[in-house]
């Protein structure tokens, strides 16, 4: 049976101008069947924020679904005892998405270019490339098990 998502939405204090308008956190089980629902939930909440529009929706969908697939399959190796955490910080001009798994991490610099001639005709290897093309900034933590993706107001 598919495990449920755990969702929390917190409005930040308006007295603190440095804080995001809202923070959404979702705990996702390590099953690929959960990705579509998790992406839908987070995207709906993000689009209720200040930056919205059809292009933002699509960019969010691609970035989140690819980051979640990487975290669940490569990071947690679909281990049912492990979780993935999604945190979305909604600001007036940007959305910061963090996706963190419980795996050992990886070196993003070692991922080959998806557009190299032999890469185009391979089955895998496009996820991280698409994330880079859909968001304005991509950062990993030192361990390589947490990605931070920033979308700014178009």
Partner 1 sequence: MGLRESRQGNGVVVIHVEGQLVIANRAELKDRLQDRLAAGDRRFVLDFTGTPYIDSSGLGALVTIAKRVREEGGDIRLAGLNDDLRQLFELTKLDTLFSISATPDQALAAF
CB closer to partner 1, 126 vs 153: 126
CB closer to partner 1, 11 vs 116: 116
> Rounded to the nearest whole angstrom, what is the least distance from the CB of residue 63 to partner 1 in the complex?
11
> Rounded to the nearest whole angstrom, what is the least distance from the CB of residue 123 to partner 1 in the complex?
4
- 147 within 8 A of 130, measured Cβ to Cβ: no
> Rounded to the nearest whole angstrom, what is the least distance from the CB of residue 133 to partner 1 in the complex?
5
CB closer to partner 1, 108 vs 125: 125
Find the helix or strand (DSSP H, E) in which 46 lies.
helix 35-47
CB closer to partner 1, 12 vs 40: 40
DSSP 8-state secondary structure symbol assigned to residue 53:
S
Q: Give the three-class secondary structure for 154.
A: coil
Q: Following DSSP, what letter does each residue of 24-44 receive, concatenated?
A: EEEEEES-GGGHHHHHHHHHH
Residues that bind partner 1 (CB under 8 A): 32-33, 35-36, 58, 61-62, 65-66, 69, 73, 114-115, 120-127, 129-130, 133
Please report where in the chains the tokens 């993003």 appear, as a residue.
Answer: 108
> Rounded to the nearest whole angstrom, what is the least distance from the CB of residue 138 to partner 1 in the complex?
15
The tokens describing 87, both together, are 């945190």
């Amino acid at each position: 049976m598919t495990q449920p998502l755990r969702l929390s939405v917190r409005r930040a204090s308006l007295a603190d101008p440095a804080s995001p308008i809202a923070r959404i956190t979702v705990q996702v089980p390590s099953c690929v069947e959960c990705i579509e629902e998790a992406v839908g939930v987070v995207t709906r909440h993000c689009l209720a924020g200040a930056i919205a529009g059809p292009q933002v929706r699509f960019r969010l969908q691609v970035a989140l679904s690819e980051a979640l697939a990487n975290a669940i399959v490569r990071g947690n190796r679909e281990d049912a005892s492990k979780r993935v955490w999604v945190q979305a910080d909604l600001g007036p001009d940007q959305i910061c998405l963090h996706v963190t798994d419980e795996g050992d991490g990886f070196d993003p610099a070692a991922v080959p270019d998806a557009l190299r001639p032999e890469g185009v005709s391979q089955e895998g290897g496009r996820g991280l490339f698409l994330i880079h093309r859909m968001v304005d900034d991509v950062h990993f933590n030192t361990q390589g098990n947490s990605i931070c993706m920033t979308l700014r107001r178009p």
